């Protein structure tokens, strides 16, 4: 039996299914979690399907979480979407169910669960779930299609990042043909508040870039307070340095209330998840996250980014002209 059919068989055999995703959710985390919830509910209306993981802050326009008490987990199937490692799972009760499935596109460093479907060639977990729904012959409703589409659009940077493939575009097109207002959804996903616009200006003003294209910016608690922003709202500025031609790899270091720094690492070529893994983190080769206990560790991480950027040989493959 294929992995896709094994997952379907498990879903069919449980009455209650509880779906988790990662902390600090992005649209792929929420889109895969709620997209899967609706795929199951719309095809198997007799089942109880719950989404667990706490508030989603500014992404609540995508949907809401359910209140899930621990007693709900007995005899339940638990599915964790878009989460590479267990410490990042939002909701501590994820391992209290009868059977655990991991569906993800991050490197499979932490092989948790009784059944895993991990495809690191997929742009997003939403792409993987769209493929799954088609493969097992499920009907994709409008509400499921919008969520899956939102996750694909966001995790590919609007089909810009290298993880975008012909399959990504085909599946996104299939979701669009279900029929929903994708222009309005794209606008919503792409819009920023005035305060984020001002923080963007701060980021551009304060970027430090070395001669090889390694960049960093530090956002302190003081800055967050000045701009009246919370850490989770900084996701809108993480991709900004990538727009700058000279920048190859970068880190955005956001000071947290307890004094440690959330490190958001991005790259156009040099593999940065090995850096992340050395500093309490992980993620994709070109998009990772880590934690620095203090400013000294932030400087160490930046130094490591500088080193891999200096060694990076890929510049000669850069696009030069159409001819």
Buried b (16+ CB within 10 A) or exposed e, 156-194: bbeeebebbeeebeebbebbeebebebeebeeebeeeee
List residues bridging with 218 in a β-sheet: 253
Q: 3 to each of 29, 36, 84, 122, 171, how far by Cα in Å?
A: 21, 16, 18, 15, 19
Closer to ligand AMP by CB, 157 or 174: give it.
Answer: 157
Minimum Å gap between C-beta 243 and ligand AMP is 17
Q: 296 to each of 208, 213, 224, 234, how far by Cα in Å?
A: 16, 21, 20, 22
Site residues for ligand AMP per CB under 6 A: 22, 24, 26, 84-85, 88, 106, 235, 238, 264, 281-284, 287-291
Closer to ligand AMP by CB, 8 or 163: give it.
Answer: 163
Minimum Å gap between C-beta 2 and ligand AMP is 26
What distance lies between CA 303 and its chain's CA centroid?
25
Minimum Å gap between C-beta 322 and ligand AMP is 32
Minimum Å gap between C-beta 207 and ligand AMP is 17
Alpha-carbon distance of 302 to 214, in angstroms, equals: 8
Closer to ligand AMP by CB, 35 or 283: give it.
Answer: 283
Name the residue with the smallest CB distance to ligand AMP: 289
Closer to ligand AMP by CB, 89 or 172: give it.
Answer: 89
Minimum Å gap between C-beta 21 and ligand AMP is 10
SS3 69: coil
Closer to ligand AMP by CB, 49 or 263: give it.
Answer: 263
Please enumerate, as own/partner, the contacts of 174-182 that have beta carbons within 8 Å and a separation of 24 or more. Answer: 174/130, 174/134, 174/140, 175/130, 175/140, 175/145, 175/146, 175/148, 175/149, 176/145, 176/149, 178/140, 178/141, 178/142, 178/145, 179/142, 179/145, 180/142, 180/145, 180/146, 180/149, 182/146, 182/149
Minimum Å gap between C-beta 145 and ligand AMP is 23
Closer to ligand AMP by CB, 100 or 290: give it.
Answer: 290
- Asked if 244 and 67 touch (Cβ cutoff 8 Å), the reply is no
Intra-chain end-to-end CA distance of the chain, in Å: 47
Q: What is the largest CA-CA distance in the chain?
A: 63
Please identify which residue in the block is written with the tokens 């620095």. Answer: 292
Minimum Å gap between C-beta 82 and ligand AMP is 7
Closer to ligand AMP by CB, 142 or 260: give it.
Answer: 260
Minimum Å gap between C-beta 265 and ligand AMP is 7
Closer to ligand AMP by CB, 43 or 156: give it.
Answer: 156
């Amino acid at each position: 039996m294929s992995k896709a059919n094994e997952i379907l068989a498990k879903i069919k055999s449980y009455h209650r299914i509880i779906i988790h995703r990662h902390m600090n959710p992005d649209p792929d985390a929420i889109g895969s979690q709620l997209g899967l919830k609706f795929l199951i509910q719309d095809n198997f209306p007799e089942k109880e399907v719950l989404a667990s993981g706490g508030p989603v802050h500014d992404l609540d326009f995508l949907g809401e979480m359910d209140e899930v008490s621990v007693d709900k987990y007995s005899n339940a199937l638990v599915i964790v979407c878009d989460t590479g490692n267990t410490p990042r799972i939002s909701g501590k009760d994820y391992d209290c169910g009868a059977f655990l499935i991991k569906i993800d596109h991050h490197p499979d460093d932490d092989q948790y669960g009784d059944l895993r479907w991990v495809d690191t060639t997929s742009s997003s977990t939403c792409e993987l779930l769209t493929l799954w729904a088609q493969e097992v012959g499920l009907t994709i409703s409008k509400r499921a299609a919008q969520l899956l589409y939102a996750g694909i659009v966001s995790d590919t940077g609007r089909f810009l990042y290298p993880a975008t493939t012909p399959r990504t575009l085909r599946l996104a097109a299939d979701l669009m043909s279900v029929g929903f207002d994708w222009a309005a959804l794209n606008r919503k996903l792409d819009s920023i508040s005035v305060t984020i616009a001002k923080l963007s200006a701060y980021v551009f003003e304060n970027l430090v870039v070395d001669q090889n294209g390694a960049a960093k910016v530090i956002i302190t608690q003081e800055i967050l307070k000045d701009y009246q922003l919370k850490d989770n709202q900084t996701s809108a500025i993480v991709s900004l340095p990538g727009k700058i031609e000279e920048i190859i790899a970068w880190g955005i270091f956001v000071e947290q209330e307890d004094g440690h720094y959330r490190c958001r690492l991005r790259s156009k070529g040099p593999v940065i998840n090995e850096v992340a893994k050395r500093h309490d983190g992980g993620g994709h080769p070109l998009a990772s996250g880590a934690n620095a206990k203090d400013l000294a560790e932030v400087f160490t991480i930046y130094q490591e980014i500088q080193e891999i950027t200096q060694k990076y040989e890929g510049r000669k493959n850069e696009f030069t002209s159409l001819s």
